[in-house]
Structure 1
Amino acid sequence: MFSTTNLLRGLAVGGALLGMAAPHAQAQTPDRKTAISANVGLLQYRGNMGTDFWDRSEPDLEVGGGGAITRYLSPSWDVAVLGYYETYKFSSEVRAGDNFEARIGMVDLGFKLKMNNGKILKEEARIQPYLMGGGGFFLSNSKGRANGQDFFNQIRRPEVFGLAGIRVRLSDVVSLDLTTSQHYPFTERVDNLYGSPDDKLYDRFLLHQAGITVALGQAKDADGDGVSDKKDKCPGTPAGVAVDPNGCPLDKDGDGVPDYQDKCPDVKGLAALQGCPDRDGDGVTDADDACPDTPGKAELKGCPDADNDGVIDQNDKCPGTPAGVQVDANGCPLDRDGDGVPDYQDRCPNRPGPASNKGCPEIKAEARKVLNEATRYINFEFNKARLLPSSYPKLQELVRIMNEYPDYSLSIAGHTDNVGADDYNLRLSYDRAAAARTYMLSQGLAPERIESRGYGETKPIATNATKAGQALNRRVDFDPFLPGDPNPAETKYGPAPTISELQKTPTGRPSAGKAPVKKAPAKKAPAKRK
């Protein structure tokens, strides 16, 4: 016989001592899924002989003991196997002298619905209400007197139960459980009386219990940092890395870069720079920045280069160099031939020449005279594009001049008088210019340096009314020009006409006025017309 008050006081003290013994463990959770419980309790009966449900009039009550093994399923559900044993006595309130004494055991399987599931209450809440339901077996040896007759019954019957409980978390491993459950064994033989005025089919029992629950096992710590996976806010921390109580790597300077990855662990910096500072924000750490207070380029050790020529501003003697221009170590444009004209403006960067001639050597007066007068010495067979041998010396002289001035190109333009059909004259003028070009190519000149074209009878320099004038109009012009300059023939005469253009004009002849000038490609003549 025990006092209920003394019973509960003893359970509380015992639970507190167990809690102090394992202060760092985790109560039943995904980390520690199994728990065992030890309980003391008392039964209360209701049946044909009467009831003592919720009756506290007795100063001393019979108590029993039990236990449970519980397994964590999810934040909301656990499954438990429960057992309880008690010797219970009851004297009838209906018929004097009737009574029974039963040694009662119950073994049940129950499913527990927890309120501390993270939705209603936090999983680590100190007060944790729950409900449980299930069923199992009711075992009893019952003896006594019913309706004036003695009886002795051995009972082995199924039962169902429902339970409400509160768990008080005393520590991270130990909890105090207070529960009340109602059990329905499928029998009326406990009191050996059958039937009742209120048509209750079975004897029923209330079971009030208080107990201590201890969670078993070790908390999971996948990354081995000493912080359980449940509490670890930084799972997967590399082995050997120092962590804080939340399992996150230490970050002494508070810059968001953990110390083990921080190349500057004592100075707040940027994650993009592995925790190192960058005062001027140019992406180069201060320790590597030769100009730490002025934004610059990484390839120039953090120093600025306003004109993007690869020479930092503080060393650049020619700031403002145009983009893409090659420069020397001082940031000044290259001048390979040393003529004072930078290469990017020099039409002849490998040979010196005056700025007035775009950095190219000027053709000497005697050579230019030969070029200007060469037309008088170039002769063809009558009405054909075949050169007369008398033309060869002059053409060879022109080749020598072109070899002396390798940066220049040569324009050859053929012309005729107005005798004959317009389209025939146009073809003839082109073929004669082409014949001169072919001969000069045979003497070793590069094809891209010579361009030939024909103007037919469209650009006379004298009247065609006289034989002398016609002779002057039958000519081949030779004009040198620098790369990038317009073709001199186009400058003087305009674009060379085509046969289709001749056919479009009413007279069969284009206007004698100059056509708009087109700029010829540098150092490359257009393909010959056939």
Structure 2
Amino acid sequence: MLSFSNINAQDENNPWAISLGVNAVDFYPTGEPAPLGEFFDEYFNARDHWNILPSLSSVSASRYFSNGFSFGVTGSINKISQFGDEEVNDLSYYGLDGTVKYSFQELINSKVIEPYLGVGGGYTWVDKIGAGTLNGALGFNFWMSENIAITIQSTYKHSFEDYLSSHFQHFAGLTFKFGGKDTDGDGIYDANDACPEVPGLAEFNGCPDTDGDGIEDSLDACPLEAGPAEFDGCPDTDGDGIPDNLDACPTVAGLPQFDGCPDTDGDGIPNPDDKCPDVAGPVANGGCPWPDKDGDGVPDKDDLCPDVYGTVANQGCPELTEEVKKALNAYAKTILFDTGKASIKSESAEVLQNIIGIVNEYPNAKFNIQGYTDSVGSDALNLKLSKERASSVMNYLITNGVASSRLKSEGFGEANPIDTNKTRAGRANNRRVEINLQK
């Protein structure tokens, strides 16, 4: 005889199920004449009415389709020794049935108890007499694990022929479901696995979290290194608030404007690009300060006198002090000229060398040579003579190595006297040459 098997908890992941167990056939509570009883009368009177073959007597196989529905085929055997209240001579019983079953497990939201209903039909033989039946079943699966359940089921089999009485067939046994595909072996079936070929975690629908930081690899910018969610799963080794994957200097705390690299000397050039990371310097010199050989605060590149200490105001060259200016003019006033002429007397050679020595100490300085006369003679003649004498001194200096670009000569005649022209000594003082610094 055929007994319908369970198809519980079958789904797309485990579509196949096999049930093995024992069946019991009861003709009594079917509402037929004696020796049978009314419907459901003494339904649980197994001692007096149930026919049980004490061995594996029922096998079924089923396949899940969708939405809780499955279809199964069951084969069963038994021996009939009780026909209601009468004993019979061990009649053989064979059944082959097909059943469509609907599971209520999702409706009751239980992972353990699965009630189900089934309808179908089959063919039953009793002592070589066979007839078709219309079957209705009620059963329960009690799932002990994901794949194994204890199954109990009761099926009413209504016969289409008078020579075969309608009857109940009960079943108790184990159900095994299988057929689920889990390619990566992570315990999550491929149908529900977002990453079916890579072992993963249930909380990430089967996708991995390789670094274990709670962020699945597909959303983790650094899937091999653990990091917080605020940095999309990337670490911040140096703790500067810039994740390592965006940090050009991931092991040294730095600044956002330099992609996480430091600027130790604060010159606006990050250390990796700074040739002198501990000393501030301009970008044009690779972050190093410009050299200043003479230490006067004026870089050599801007220092017109890089080997001589000078002042910033004078572009790195030394400035003439008042003492030097006075000494220069003291020498200049002692230059002697031939009377009424611009030619320099030979005894002034030593004075002129002293003047050249002072001028050469200040190579960046420019000088203005100014000639003056006393009031004797005409103004025109005195002006001409003063110009010529100043020019004569300038030419002497140029001839002796002073650059012409540093010198300028002028004559002012009898203007700007420094003494009286009424005495011989005063007029001698007014006949002079002055050498002044050009500003």
TM-score, normalising length: structure 1:
0.41
Greater Rg over alpha carbons, structure = 2
